[in-house]
Every structure is written in C-alpha cells, then in structure tokens.
Amino acid sequence: MLGSENHNYNLIVFTAPSGAGKTTIVRHLLEVFPDVLGFSTSATTRERRENEVEGEDYYFMTEETFKSKIDDGDFVEWEEVYQGSYYGTLYSEIERLKAAGKVIIFDIDVHGAESIKDKYGDECLVVFVKPPSFRTLIQRLTDRQTESAESFERRVNRIKKELLYENSFDLVLLNDKLDIALSDAESIIKEKVLSSDNRD
C-alpha cells in the first residue's frame, strides 16, 4: 500500500464515496497528529445538521453567496454535488492553514480530489478510502437514517460512479476493519509526511 518515494507533501487528501469512512479516518488523524495536521474546512450550501459546527464541520453559506465566491475566483475547487447543493474548498482556507505551518488534510469527494491534485501536483497526496464492498457501503448509509428516499437514491447512484475512481489516485486505503484502517492511515502520515520533512 505504501510506496518507497520520499516527497514533501503539504496537502493530504482523503477521498471516497459517502459512507466509506473517510471522515472518521480524518478526524482520527487530526487527534493523533494535532501539531502537524490542519483540517481544510469546506464550504457548502446544504442545510446545517444539528450536531454540526459552523467553521469546523463546514462553512455554511447561501447559494447566492457561494455563487458570488465562484464568480470572484475564491474556490480552489467546487462542485454542485446535487441540485442546489454546492461544496467547495476556499483558497483562503488553504492559505490560513499554510500560514499556521500545518500540513493540510482534506475530507472531500473524488471530483474535488482530482481538482486539488491537478492544481498542487507533487505537493499533494491523494488517498482513496475503499469500502469492503458496495453492499457494506449501502448498509452504512441505511444505518445513518439521515436522508429521504429520494436523496438516498441519488447518493447510491453517485456512489456507483465514485467507486470507479479507485485506481485514479496515489494510494488506496481499505476500510474493512476500522482499527486496521486507522492504523494504516497513521502509517501513511508517518511515512509520507513525518519522515520526509522531519516534523515530529
């Protein structure tokens, strides 16, 4: 899973279909390496859920504000994931974390991951989090019970397309047993970040 190349990665992207576990993995890494990693908070137009915090989980904004920022060129990447639901990464967020001396860690979808890799090239490592099976992924989403039947169907259709991206990125991280996946994710940070520029 881990290559032998040594790069000075300043951006680490974890990408996956919904339910594959990338958010859980990223949160774990932020707890284990708090002095090294800084989380890139995405902007979105979707409604804020009850447990979500503005500026930590997302920057929540109106569609009008989001589109204005698109026009102003404020986004590194953005996408209308579902009709009227926009997501994106602000340049200001990356600059904020760079100024703080952090290696930036992302939790974004495959299209966003492609865009960031295109812009930052060798500075960016993209890890695709692979679920054990499509069936397992659908079960995880069903267990969440956070969506209507219509939005659930849209998400399933999107997952089918996103799973095709498995071999499009730098590394694949299998999330079958969570404790193993978390350990493997820690190893990626140790090898690809800590060993390359001696951040301890």
DSSP letter at 7? -
Q: How confident is the model at residue 2 (pLDDT cuts 50, 70, 90)?
A: very low
The percentage of residues in the chain with a pLDDT greater than 70, rounded to a whole number, is 94
Mean pLDDT of 160-176: 92
Between 40 and 150, where is the model more confident?
40
Task: Look up the CATH architecture of domain 11-195.
Answer: 3-Layer(aba) Sandwich (3.40)
Q: pLDDT tens digit string along 67-115? A: 999 999 999 999 998 888 999 999 999 999 999 999 999 999 999 999 9
Dihedral angle computed from the Cα positions of residues 90, 20, 157 and 170, in that order, rounded to the nearest 10 degrees: 60
- Asked if the model's pLDDT at residue 131 lies above 80, the reply is yes
- Asked if the model's pLDDT at residue 152 lies above 90, the reply is no
pLDDT value, residue 199: 47
Mean pLDDT of 119-140: 91
Nearest to 42 by CA among 83, 86, 9: 86
Between 133 and 102, where is the model more confident?
102
Provide the CA 83 distance to its chain's centre, in angstroms.
20
DSSP letter at 100? T
Mean pLDDT of 37-42: 97
**Highest mean predicted confidence (pLDDT) among 102-106, 131-135, 194-198:** 102-106
Spatial neighbors of 21 by CB under 8 A, at least 6 apart, are 129, 131, 140, 175, 178, 181
- d(C-alpha 49, C-alpha 144), whole Å: 13
